């Protein structure tokens, strides 16, 4: 069973860059999955941030595209998120996920709370 | 961008009752690529339904999905205590992928 684990700082200062990594275990990041980031502000709903395929192809939410970069490191079986110029509105639980909807499979990390505060 | 509107916002029901949740899309969802997730407090979402009507592995058959085009429904035939949670729909047929705002199913 594929497992995902997010890691990174839990506190980021305004105007700085939020950087998170998602380690994939129990399967290869080069498998037929799209690897994505989703965030959830406290008490609110889910927002899709973007995704990457093992080929390096990416898709981003237009609302965040100017500030987001998702990358993949196949040698480490992990992928990463960078969100720059953060504000308090970016405070959220960030989830990494992998999906192969053709096979009906979606894997989620446990989530990591990132707070933007001085 | 496809906007998904879920209704009702909150559903107050008793165990054993039937729950009917709606997800309406602002435009047709390609190939009915519509998923339903369940989320409990402090947990990641769990996939229930994909392709509008296909149950994910390990999901009890009291959960069923239906619909096509712009109107989709998640039905829980008989609510069990563990089913009280927030439910989200997501379309994955167009970019950007989008989620509905969620329906909370609470104990009456």
Q: State how beta strands B10-13 and B103-107 pair.
A: parallel
The residue among A33, A39, A46 whose CA lies nearest residue A101 is A33
CB of B40 less than 8 A from some CB of A: no
pLDDT band at residue B105 using 50, 70 and 90 as cut-offs: very high
Any idea what DSSP says for residue B38? E
Across the interface, whether the CB atoms of A46 and B88 are under 8 A apart is answered yes
Please tell me the distance in Å from B97's CA to the nearest CA on chain A.
6
B62 burial type by CB count under 10 A (0-12 exposed, 13-18 middle, 19+ buried): middle
A48-A51-A54 Cα angle (round to 5): 160
The β-bridge partners of B79 are: none
The residue among A90, A74, A88 whose CA lies nearest residue A29 is A74
Average pLDDT, chain A: 96
Q: Could you read off the pLDDT of B37-67 as tens digits, one per residue?
A: 999 999 999 999 999 999 999 999 999 999 9
Q: For residue B47, give the nearest of A50, A62, A106 by CB distance.
A: A106
The residue of chain B with its CA nearest to that of A46 is B99
What Å distances lie between residue B27 and A45, B5, B32, B49, B71, CA to CA?
21, 11, 11, 20, 10
């Amino acid at each position: 069973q594929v497992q995902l684990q997010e890691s990174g700082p839990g506190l980021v200062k305004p105007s700085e860059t939020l950087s998170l990594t998602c380690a994939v275990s129990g399967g290869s990041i080069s498998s037929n999955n799209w690897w994505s980031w989703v965030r959830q502000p406290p008490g609110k709903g889910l927002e899709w941030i973007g995704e990457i395929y093992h080929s390096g192809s990416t898709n981003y939410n237009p609302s965040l595209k100017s500030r987001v970069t998702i990358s993949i490191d196949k040698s480490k079986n992990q992928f990463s998120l960078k969100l720059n110029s953060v504000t308090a509105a970016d405070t959220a639980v960030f989830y990494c996920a992998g999906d192969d909807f053709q096979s009906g499979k979606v894997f989620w990390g446990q989530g990591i709370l990132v707070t933007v505060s001085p | 961008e496809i906007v998904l509107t879920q209704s009702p916002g909150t559903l107050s029901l008793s165990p054993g009752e039937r729950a009917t949740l709606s997800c309406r899309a602002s435009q047709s969802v390609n190939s009915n690529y519509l998923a339903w997730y369940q989320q409990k407090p402090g947990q990641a979402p769990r996939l229930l339904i994909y392709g509008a009507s296909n149950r994910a592995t390990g999901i009890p058959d009291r959960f069923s999905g239906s619909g096509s085009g712009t109107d989709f429904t998640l039905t829980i035939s008989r609510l069990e205590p563990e089913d009280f949670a927030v439910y989200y729909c997501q379309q994955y047929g167009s970019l950007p992928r989008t989620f509905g705002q969620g329906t909370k199913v609470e104990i009456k």
